[in-house]
Each structure stands twice: as structure tokens, then as C-alpha cells.
Amino acid sequence: MPSYEQLRELLDPGHTVLLTVECQQGVVGPDSALPDLAREARSSGALRQVARLVAAAHETGVQVIHAIAERRPDGRGASRNARLFRAAERLPVQQLSGTTAVRVAPPIEVGEEDLVVRRLHGLSPIHGTDVDALLRNLGCRTLIVTGVSANVAIPNTVFDAVNLGYTAVVPADAIAGVPADYTPAMIRHTLALIATISTTDEVLGCLQRPRGRHPPGGLRPA
């Protein structure tokens, strides 16, 4: 874990962006196409933690980007080169453009200045989308990565962010995957090698407190 001072420096609101990954109703909502993942995202508290981070970002001026995966009703332009994509075509709930399934799921609130980036193909919310160009135009250096799933989209996002030169910060309690014990193992053995791992409370402590102070009982300068 980084010291408070190190994390605070990384999370300067002037160069930090918060990314939520596939926190949409058709993925983590009550009528999810992936009920096991939705159940884990909610029961673990990960979705609630994402909502807290988004609310804090709105309060402190940190830009929020919501990355949504969707498809056209005719499937045009969608990826079919992996078993995951072909299985998704047969699910009872489809992530169709313009439907409730591709709306950001409660309790996350979308702010007026939030950006919503939608993709019709692939595994990553960064590669092949507008996200990288938007981050550069926003002056982003640190990307906070939250959402689902720890199995595929989250590691893919972190890899892409690091390859593009961003520093990735992952609040471990604001991501979820299945089974439940896979997420901490993936964080420990994979993400911890390339990203700064923190908790939601630590990130909130850095974003919400005046510069030059550290939170009581929290991280301390090294």
C-alpha cells in the first residue's frame, strides 16, 4: 500500500479521472444478464463503493467517465471472436443500445458533467473507444478504475491504461468478479504488480480532505 502522501499526490483532482466499468443495469442491476456477477457486485458492497466514489468525484471536481458495453439489435459491428461474446448473444437479457439495460445502475448517479462512452465491440472500455483521447484532452495522469468484472474488463482496463502511460489506481473494494474469492487473488497476483491498490475510504480521504492534511487513523506519510 502507498503512504497517504503518495496516494494523495497521485489523486490530485487536477489530473485524476474516475472510470466506472460496465456498471450498467443489464450487468449489475436486479435484472442482470449475469445474475451471479450482479449478486456479487451488490452483496460485496462493490457497487455501493463505486457510488460513493462517484459522489465524491462530483463534489471535488474529479471528472467521471462511465464506460458502457452495448450492442445493436442486429448485432452489427459486435465482436464474435471469443466464446464470451457468442455466449452473450444467447443470454435472456441483451445489452441493447437505447434500452434500460445500458443505463448506469443505481445507486450510482450520473452527473451533468459526467461523460458516458459506449462501445459495440471488444473487451476493453479503453482500446478502440474514445476514452484515451478524452483522458488526454482532460489532462489525465491518474485513472481510478472501478466496476466489473474482475475476471475480464477490469484487468483489461488496467493493462490498457498502463500501456498508454497512465497511472492506474484500483480501490480493491470497488471492483467485483466471480467467484468471490477470485477477485482478491487476481488483485494480489496480477493488478498489484502494475497498479496502485487502495481502498475506497483511502481514495475518499485523499479527494475530500484539504491538501496538506491527513485523515485521522488513516494512511500516514512514509
Pair 64, 54: CB distance under 8 Å: yes
| pLDDT tens-digit series, residues 44-98 | 999 999 999 999 999 999 999 999 999 999 999 988 899 988 888 888 889 999 9
Contact (Cβ atoms closer than 8 angstroms) between residue 108 and residue 23: yes
Q: Taking the chain, what is the end-to-end CA distance rounded to the nearest angstrom?
A: 11
Over residues 5-56, the pLDDT tens digits come to 899 999 999 999 999 999 999 999 999 999 999 999 999 999 999 999 999 9
Return all residues near 222 (Cβ < 8 A) that are at least 6 apart.
3, 5, 6
DSSP letters for 200-214: HHHHHHHHHSPTT--
Which pTM was predicted?
Answer: 0.92
**Residues constituting the chain:** 222
Taking the C-alpha atoms of 182, 29, 49 and 54 in order, what is their torsion angle to the nearest 10 degrees? 130
